[in-house]
Chains A and B, each alone.
Chain A
Amino acid sequence: MSTPTAEMTGEKKPMDLLRFATAGSVDDGKSTLIGRLLYDSKSIFADQLEAVEATSSAKGHDYVDLSLLTDGLRSEREQGITIDVAYRYFATPSRKFIIADTPGHVQYTRNMVTGASTADLGLVLVDARHGLTEQSRRHAVLLSLLRVPHLVLCVNKMDLVDYSEEIYEQIHAEFTQFATKLNIPDLAVIPISALKGDNVVDRSEAMPWYSGPTLMHHLEHVHVASDRDLVDVRFPVQYVVRPKSDEHHDYRGYAGQVAGGVLKPGDEVIVLPSGMTSKIQGIDLFDQEIDEAFPPMSVTVRLEDDVDVSRGDMIARVKNAPEPSQDIDAMVCWMTNTPLKPRQKLAIKHTTRTGRALVKDIQYRMDVNTLHRDQDTKELGLNEIGRVQLRTTVPLLCDPYSKNRTTGSFILIDEATGVTVGAGMING
Chain B
Amino acid sequence: MTQTHADYRMSQLDQLEAESIHIFREVAAEFEKPVLMFSGGKDSIVMLRLAEKAFFPAKIPFPVLQVDTGLDFPEVLSTRDNWVNRLGVKLVVASIDEAIANGVVVDDGKTSRNRLQIGTLLNAIEENGFTAAFGGGRRDEEKARAKERVYSHRDDFGQWDPKNQRPELWSLYNGRLHEGEHMRIFPISNWTELDIWDYIGREGIEIPNIYFSHQRRVFERDGMLMSETPLNPTREGEVVEERTVRFRTCGDITLTGCVESTASNIPEIIEEVAAARLTERGATRGDDRFSEAAMEDRKKEGYF
Minimum CB distance partner of A335 in chain B: B167
The complex places the Cα of A73 from the Cα of B190 at a distance, in Å, of: 18
Beyond known contacts A243-B58, A297-B14: 5 more, CB 8 A cutoff: A1-B273, A87-B139, A226-B6, A349-B174, A406-B170
Q: Is the C-beta of A410 less than 8 angstroms from some C-beta in chain B?
A: yes
- Contact A256–B25 (Cβ < 8 Å): yes
**Across-interface contacts of A350 in B (CB, < 8 A):** 172
The complex places the Cα of A71 from the Cα of B143 at a distance, in Å, of: 7
Residues of B within 8 A of A (CB): 1-2, 4-6, 8-19, 21-22, 25-26, 28-29, 52-59, 139-140, 143-144, 146-147, 162-163, 165-172, 174, 176-178, 189-190, 192-195, 197-198, 201-202, 267, 270-271, 273-274, 276-279, 282-283, 292-293, 296
- Contact A311–B13 (Cβ < 8 Å): no
19 contacting pairs across A/B (C-beta < 8 A)? A8-B270, A16-B9, A16-B15, A47-B283, A48-B279, A73-B147, A75-B163, A87-B147, A88-B146, A96-B12, A113-B169, A241-B56, A255-B55, A286-B56, A296-B10, A296-B15, A298-B22, A411-B172, A418-B174
**Across-interface contacts of B273 in A (CB, < 8 A):** 1
Tally chain A residues at the interface, Cβ within 8 Å.
81
- Contact A8–B201 (Cβ < 8 Å): yes
Number of A-B contacts (CB under 8 A): 215
Can you list, as one digit per residue, whether each of A44-63 has a CB less than 8 Å from chain B (1) or not (0)? Answer: 01111001000000000000
The complex places the Cα of A255 from the Cα of B51 at a distance, in Å, of: 13
**Across-interface contacts of B170 in A (CB, < 8 A):** 117-118, 405-406, 409, 411
Interface residues of A in 275-329 (CB under 8 A from B): 284, 286-287, 294-298, 300, 311
Given contacts A7-B11, A72-B143, A242-B58, contact A230 B5 (CB under 8 A): yes
* B interface SS class: helix
**Across-interface contacts of B52 in A (CB, < 8 A):** 286
- Contact A238–B22 (Cβ < 8 Å): yes
- Contact B167–A255 (Cβ < 8 Å): no
- Contact B174–A226 (Cβ < 8 Å): no
**Across-interface contacts of A419 in B (CB, < 8 A):** 166, 174, 176
The complex places the Cα of A113 from the Cα of B167 at a distance, in Å, of: 9
Minimum CB distance partner of A409 in chain B: B170
The complex places the Cα of A118 from the Cα of B58 at a distance, in Å, of: 31
Can you list, as one digit per residue, whether each of A101-138 has a CB less than 8 Å from chain B (1) or not (0)? Answer: 00000000010011001100000000000000000000
Partner of A15, one of B12, B58, B267: B12
Q: Is the C-beta of A423 less than 8 angstroms from some C-beta in chain B?
A: yes
Can you list, as one digit per residue, whether each of A239-270 has a CB less than 8 Å from chain B (1) or not (0)? Answer: 10111110110010001110000100000000
Partner of A7, one of B4, B202, B296: B202
- Contact B167–A287 (Cβ < 8 Å): no
- Contact A95–B146 (Cβ < 8 Å): no
Minimum CB distance partner of B27 in chain A: A239
Minimum CB distance partner of A262 in chain B: B8
